[in-house]
């Protein structure tokens, strides 16, 4: 009766959507536990592409429950659009459940995200401007408005009034902007509430009951370990906890109920947004990988920064989340190169280190220490046995296992759901 958490082990966009969708086939319940519409998960089923921002990847299966946990911040407009767009493509969304405790992203959060980034100038974080950071700020400041409040219009109006008074002072006096008016916000949020009402419930109880009944529950992390508010490359991080511990808080389950944690590792590294990136490739090789892998943000369309695989990071991610196995993605994108590099250590002030530094100034002085590997020809995505993979692909995967001390359970060989090689059962 496993409960499995899927975590990104880099800076997001590791292919968690694809891996979650693949594993969801065997699950009964799929849960998003943090983040919000800043996430972009691409899932390809029978050649049809779906881009999900707030909905858990399990939504594409009609018979599963797909849960938006309390740790997620919900923009009702984005969510309603996403539900309608899936329904118009024939996807049944009745399995959706939304935590009444999840916080709402409000229009003033989105404006604040933009204004805060603008005022930071060169020190900007490079956020997705979806209002995620300001929504989590209000949650911590205990002035947030929650999904459940949408069901009580009077309570919602009161909270909105209090917030607007405060936010409008900031907009007018600090940023020299026009104030926001209450009525249009009230109207559009209460309209969205009508669509969302049937899905809103006490999700923590539902998830715990499912685990107790022996059902299979998959927890789907958004973003990645190095965007974690505590453990990532602060301040160039998101405002939530993508690490496995975040699933316990963001879904309301105890750590003793979790059986496995799968770290998703992209065969190279990417980052969207600012901040240090030791193995970054600013040359033609980076550009080539970007084009081959269509490495453009699903949420913002920004070109992603590309670099070689950094196992110093992956090893640290494995410790932070207690990975029990790995899923390596996008091996197909790396095909056709003469040589590939993988970092297994950093050189800092002449010394080789294998730990990931907490200081950004130390990290920006770290030079990756690489092992070179011979490349491989195009991979057949239909390959179903490790033995059928090119020996150089196997060597690359073996090095990942050697440095991390973890088994590779899944290898993604293409974008489609079916282009996945299972080496070890997860459920």
The nearest distance, CB 337 to ligand IMP, in angstroms, is 24
Transcribe 46-98 into DSSP letters: TTEEEEESSS-GGGGSTTSEEEE-TTBEE-HHHHHHHHHHHHHTT---TTEEE
Torsional sign, CA 276, 72, 14, 80:
negative
Q: Which x/- pattern over 26-45 shows residues binding ligand IMP (rule: CB under 6 A)?
A: ------------xxx-----
**Extended beta strands in 292-402, E state:** 305-307, 309-310, 325-329, 339-348, 351-353, 367-374
Instruction: Reply yes or no on whether 109 is catalytic.
Output: no
Q: What are phi and psi of 341, to 5 degrees?
A: -120, 145
The entry of Mg ion, ligand IMP, none that residue 270 binds, CB within 5 to 8 Å by partner kind: none
Residue nearest to ligand IMP (CB): 273
The entry of Mg ion, ligand IMP, none that residue 222 binds, CB within 5 to 8 Å by partner kind: ligand IMP
Residue 367, classified by CB atoms within 10 Å of its CB into exposed (0-12), middle (13-18) or buried (19+), is middle
- 52 part of the interface to ligand IMP, by CB under 6 A: no
Q: Which x/- pattern over 108-137 shows residues binding ligand IMP (rule: CB under 6 A)?
A: -----------------xxxx-x-xx----
Longest dimension (CA), the chain: 66
The nearest distance, CB 269 to ligand IMP, in angstroms, is 12
Residue 269's H or E segment, with its range, is: strand 269-271
Residue 275, classified by CB atoms within 10 Å of its CB into exposed (0-12), middle (13-18) or buried (19+), is buried
Task: Tell me: is residue 204 an annotated ligand-binding position.
Answer: no
The entry of Mg ion, ligand IMP, none that residue 227 binds, CB within 5 to 8 Å by partner kind: ligand IMP
**Extended beta strands in 174-214, E state:** 200-201
Q: Which x/- pattern over 211-230 shows residues binding ligand IMP (rule: CB under 6 A)?
A: -----------xx---x---
CA 327 to chain centre: 15
Task: Tell me: is residue 294 an annotated ligand-binding position.
Answer: no
Residues near Mg ion, by CB under 5 A: 13, 40
The entry of ligand IMP, Mg ion, none that residue 421 binds, CB within 5 to 8 Å by partner kind: none
Q: Which x/- pattern over 249-288 shows residues binding ligand IMP (rule: CB under 6 A)?
A: -----------------------xx---------------
List the catalytic residue out of 21, 41, 75, 103. Answer: 41
The entry of ligand IMP, Mg ion, none that residue 99 binds, CB within 5 to 8 Å by partner kind: none
Instruction: Reply yes or no on whether 41 is catalytic.
Output: yes
Task: Tell me: is residue 292 an annotated ligand-binding position.
Answer: no
Q: What's the chain's length in residues? A: 427
Q: Copy the structure tokens of residue 257.
A: 């109920």
Task: Tell me: is residue 42 an annotated ligand-binding position.
Answer: yes
Q: Cα–Cα distances in Å, from 9 out to 313, 318, 325, 370, 410?
A: 8, 7, 12, 19, 14
Task: Tell me: is residue 331 an annotated ligand-binding position.
Answer: yes
List the catalytic residue out of 13, 75, 138, 310. Answer: 13
Q: What are phi and psi of 32, to 5 degrees?
A: -90, 135
The entry of Mg ion, ligand IMP, none that residue 107 binds, CB within 5 to 8 Å by partner kind: none
Torsional sign, CA 76, 79, 85, 91:
negative
Binding-site residues for Mg(2+) sit at 13, 40
Q: Which residues are catalytic?
A: 13, 41
Binding-site residues sit at 12-18, 38-42, 128, 142, 223, 238, 298-304, 330-332, 412-414
Q: Which residues bind ligand IMP (CB under 6 A)?
A: 11-13, 38-40, 125-128, 130, 132-133, 222-223, 227, 236, 238-239, 272-273
């Amino acid at each position: 009766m496993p409960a499995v958490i899927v975590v990104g082990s880099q800076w997001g966009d590791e292919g968690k959507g694809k891996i979650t969708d693949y594993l969801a086939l065997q699950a009964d319940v799929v849960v998003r536990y943090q983040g919000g519409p800043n996430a972009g998960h691409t899932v390809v089923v029978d050649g049809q592409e779906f881009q999900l921002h707030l909905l858990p990847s399990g939504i594409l299966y009609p018979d599963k429950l797909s849960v938006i946990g309390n740790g997620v911040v919900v923009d009702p407009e984005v969510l309603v659009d996403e539900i309608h767009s899936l329904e118009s493509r024939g996807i049944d969304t009745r399995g959706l459940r939304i935590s009444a405790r999840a916080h709402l992203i409000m229009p003033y959060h989105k404006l604040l995200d933009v204004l805060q980034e603008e005022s930071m100038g060169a020190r900007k974080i490079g956020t997705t401007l979806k209002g995620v950071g300001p929504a989590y700020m209000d949650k911590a400041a205990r002035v947030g408005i929650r999904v459940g409040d949408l069901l009580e219009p009077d309570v919602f109006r009161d909270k909105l009034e209090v917030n607007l008074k405060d936010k409008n002072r900031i907009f007018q006096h600090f940023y020299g902007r026009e104030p926001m008016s209450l009525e249009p916000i009230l109207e559009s949020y209460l309209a969205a509430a009508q669509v969302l009402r049937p899905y809103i419930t006490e999700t923590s109880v539902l998830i715990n009951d499912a685990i107790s009944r022996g059902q299979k529950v998959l927890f789907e992390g958004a973003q990645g370990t190095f965007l974690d508010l505590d453990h990532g490359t602060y301040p160039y991080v998101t405002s939530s906890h993508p690490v496995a511990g975040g699933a316990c808080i963001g879904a309301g389950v105890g750590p003793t109920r979790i059986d496995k944690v799968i770290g998703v590792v992209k065969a190279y590294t990417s980052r969207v947004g600012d901040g240090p990136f030791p193995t970054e490739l600013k040359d033609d090789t980076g550009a080539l990988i970007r084009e081959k892998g269509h490495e453009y943000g699903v949420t913002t369309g920004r070109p992603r920064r590309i670099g070689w695989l950094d196992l110093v990071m992956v090893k640290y991610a494995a410790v932070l989340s207690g990975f029990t196995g790995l899923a390596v993605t996008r091996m197909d994108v790396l095909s056709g190169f003469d040589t590939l590099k993988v970092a297994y250590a950093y050189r800092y002030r002449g010394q080789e280190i294998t730990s990931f530094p907490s200081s950004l100034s130390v990290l920006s002085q770290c030079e990756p220490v690489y092992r070179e590997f011979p490349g491989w020809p195009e991979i057949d995505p239909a390959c179903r046995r490790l033995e059928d993979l090119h020996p150089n692909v196997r060597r690359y995967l073996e090095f990942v296992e050697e440095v991390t001390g973890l088994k590779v359970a899944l290898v993604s060989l293409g974008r489609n759901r079916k282009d996945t090689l299972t080496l070890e059962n997860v459920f």
